Amino acid sequence: MPVIREINGKSPHIGEGTWLAETAVVLGDVTLGEDCSVWYNAIIRGDVNSIHIGNRTNIQDGAVVHCTYKKAATMIGNSVSIGHNAIVHGCTLQDNCMVGMGAIVMDDVVVESGAVVAAGAVVSEGKTVKSGWIYAGIPARPLKEISAEVREALLEKTPENYVMYKSWFEDTGF
């Protein structure tokens, strides 16, 4: 069973149809929307501030979602994909965006709707990742505009696929 735990009097709220892998951890002041998936060894730690996650968002294997005490809550929109081993910390991810595998998104960053943070990128504190662009590198900078093909493949199909994938596992998790 996944670890779902109250911290300092605050308990996670998990939306209908959301699936948590057996090794997922969800702690404290966390709201997960409907039809989300939280994969193996992913951690959503709302112990020091709040974390709000919209509907149809997938948090892939090994990802860490956290926040900063008295400074930066984490807000994640609808149909967001957070790649394997990514770190999302005290930031805002608007609807229909993606954080690639192993990327790091720091406090007070805003990833706008329709933007992609490339695998391995590091988005420095307080930056904005603009809609319609892929940001890559350390520190992350605009790499190129997102084509219609990439928009469909990454930003539209990935959340749909993860809703399908979770259905394969629903009898094995939360």
b/e 95-125 (16+ beta carbons within 10 angstroms → b): bbbbbbbbbbbbbbbbbbbbbbbbbbbbbee
Residue that has been written with the tokens 């930031």 in this structure: 91
The verdict on residue 102 lying in a domain is: yes
The verdict on residue 164 lying in a domain is: yes
Q: pLDDT-derived band of residue 171, with 50, 70 and 90 as boundaries?
A: confident
Whichever domain contains 36, its CATH number is 2.160.10.10
Pairwise CA distance, residues 134 & 66, whole Å = 23
Sign of the alpha-carbon torsion through 120, 87, 100, 20: positive
Q: Is the pLDDT of residue 26 over 70?
A: yes
The verdict on residue 174 lying in a domain is: no
Domain tally, the chain:
1
Q: pLDDT-derived band of residue 170, with 50, 70 and 90 as boundaries?
A: confident
Q: What range defines the domain where residue 111 resides?
A: 3-169
Q: Is the pLDDT of residue 136 over 60?
A: yes
The verdict on residue 24 lying in a domain is: yes
The verdict on residue 145 lying in a domain is: yes
- Cβ atoms within 10 Å of 160's Cβ, excluding its own: 11
What per-residue confidence (pLDDT) applies to 133? 98
pLDDT digit string (tens) for 93-123? 999 999 999 999 999 999 999 999 999 999 9
CB-based contact 154:98 (threshold 8 Å): yes
pLDDT digit string (tens) for 64-79? 999 999 999 999 999 9
